Copies of this chain bind each other. A is one copy, B any other.
Amino acid sequence: MSKKSADLSTETAGIGRRRFINTAALAGLTVGVAACNDKPAAAPAAAPAAPAPAAPAASHGGANVHLKPGELDTYYGLWSGGHTGDMRVLGLPSGREIHRIPCFVPDALVGWGVTNESKAVMGTKADGHLKYTVADTHHTHASYKDGNYDGRYAWINDKINSRVARIRLDYFVCDKITELPNVQGFHGIFPDKADPVDPAINYTTRVFCGGEFAIPMPNDGKGVNDPTKYHSMFTCVDAETMEVRWQVLIDGNCDLVATSYDGKLAATNQYNTENGIHYEDMMSAERDACLFFNIARIEEAVKAGKFKTVGSSKVPVVDGSHEANKDPKTALVAYVSVPKNPHGVNASPDGKYFICAGKLSPTATTIELAKVLEWFDGKLEKLDDAIVAEVEIGLGPLHTAFDGRGNAYTTLFLDSQVVKWNVEKAIAFHKGDKNAKYVVDRLDVHYQPGHINASQSETKAADGKFLAVGCKFSKDRFLPVGPLHPENEQLIDISGEKMVLLADHPVRGEPHDFIIFKRDIVKPKQVYSLDDFPLAIKDPKESGVTRNGKKVTVKLTSQAPAFSLREFTVKKGDEVTLILTNLDKIEDLTHGFAIPNYNVNFIVNPLETKSVTFTADKPGVFWCYCTHFCHALHLEMRTRMIVEA
Tell me if A594 counts as interface (CB < 8 A to partner B). yes
Residues in chain B near residue A620, CB distance under 8 A: 215-216, 219-221, 224
Find out whether the CB atom of B621 lies under 8 angstroms from the CB atom of A216. Answer: yes
Judging by beta carbons under 8 Å apart, are A527 and B483 in contact?
Answer: yes
Q: Mark A558-592, 1 if CB is under 8 A from B, else 0.
A: 00111000110000100000000000001111101
User: In the docked arrangement, what's the CA distance between A631 and B473, Å?
Assistant: 10
B627 touches A83 (CB 8 A): yes
Residue of B at shortest CB range from A215? B621
| Complex copy number for this chain | 2
- If A135-B108, A479-B73 touch, whether A629 touches B99 (CB-CB below 8 Å) is no
Tell which of A62-70, A295-303, A419-427, A457-465 binds the partner.
A62-70
Q: Give Cα A145 to B66, complex, Å.
A: 38
Within 8 A of B (CB), among A581-632: 586-590, 592, 594-597, 599-601, 603, 605-606, 608, 619-623, 625, 627-632
Report the minimal beta-carbon distance from A491 to chain B, rounded to whole angstroms.
9
CB-nearest residue of chain B relative to A130?
B599
Whether, in the assembled complex, A535 has its beta carbon less than 8 Å from a beta carbon of chain B, the answer is no
Rounded to whole Å, the gap between the CB of A210 and the closest CB of chain B is 12
Complex: how many Å from CA A414 to CA B631?
9
A632-B108 contact, Cβ under 8 Å, with A561-B279, A596-B184: no
Closest residue of chain B to A480, judged by CB?
Answer: B524
The reply to whether A109 and B508 form a contact with Cβ atoms under 8 Å apart is yes
- Whether B483 and A623, one on each chain, are in contact in the complex, defined by CB atoms closer than 8 angstroms, is no
Residues of B within 8 A of A446 (CB): 69-70
A4 at the interface (CB under 8 A from B): no
Q: Nearest CB to that of A633 among chain B residues?
A: B279
Whether A69 contacts B503 in the complex (CB less than 8 A), given A161-B596, A277-B567, A279-B633, comes out as: yes
- Name the residue of chain B whose CB is nearest to the CB of A601: B134
Closest to A107 in B: B84
Q: Given the complex of chains A and B, what is the CA–CA distance between A630 and B447 in angstroms?
A: 12
**Could you tell me if A134 and B632 are in contact, using CB atoms closer than 8 angstroms?**
no
B506 engages A70 (CB within 8 Å): no
Q: Are B76 and A224 in contact (CB under 8 A)?
A: no
Listed stretches A11-19, A34-42, A201-209; interface member: A34-42
Give the docked Cα–Cα distance between A180 and B553 (Å). 31
| A255-279 near B? 1/0 per residue, CB < 8 Å | 1000000000000000110000111
Interface size on A (CB < 8 Å)?
159
Interface SS, A side: loop
Alpha-carbon gap, A586 to B82, bound state (A): 22
Task: Give Cα distance in the complex from A561 to B448, angstroms.
Answer: 15
* A533 interfacial by beta-carbon distance below 8 Å: no
CB neighbours (8 Å) of A196 from chain B are none
Most chain-B Cβ atoms within 10 A of its Cβ — which of A213, A359, A627, A637? A627
CB-nearest residue of chain B to A276: B636
Q: Does A157 contact B (CB under 8 A)?
A: no
Interface residues of A in 73-129 (CB under 8 A from B): 73, 76, 82-85, 89, 91, 96-100, 105-111, 113-114, 129
A52 at the interface (CB under 8 A from B): no
> Contacts A506-B96, A623-B184 known; A632 to B132 CB distance under 8 Å?
no
Asked if A599 meets B633 with Cβ closer than 8 Å, knowing A70-B56, A160-B627, the reply is no
For A219, A413, A636, which residue has the most chain B Cβ atoms within 10 angstroms?
A: A636
Task: Known contacts A83-B109, A185-B596, A215-B620; decide if A627 and B136 are in contact (CB<8 Å).
Answer: yes
Contact with B along A477-511 (1 / 0, CB 8 A): 11111111110001000000000011111101110
User: B69 touching A636 by the CB < 8 A rule?
Assistant: no
Pair B26/A509 contact, Cβ less than 8 Å:
no
The residue on B at minimum CB distance from A229 is B621
The contact of A224 among B215, B220, B621, by CB within 8 Å, is B621
One of A166-174, A312-320, A329-337 at the interface: A166-174
Whose C-beta in chain B lies nearest to the C-beta of A413?
B632
| Contact between chains at B592 and A83 (CB < 8 Å) | yes
Contacts of A450 in B (CB 8 A): 629
19 examples of A-B residue contacts, CB within 8 angstroms:
A69-B446, A69-B501, A82-B109, A82-B627, A83-B601, A84-B109, A98-B486, A184-B597, A185-B623, A219-B621, A221-B642, A255-B635, A341-B635, A396-B632, A448-B629, A480-B526, A482-B605, A509-B629, A510-B627
- Beyond known contacts A33-B560, A277-B640: 10 more, CB 8 A cutoff: A34-B586, A110-B484, A114-B133, A136-B594, A170-B482, A221-B642, A224-B644, A253-B635, A279-B562, A485-B590
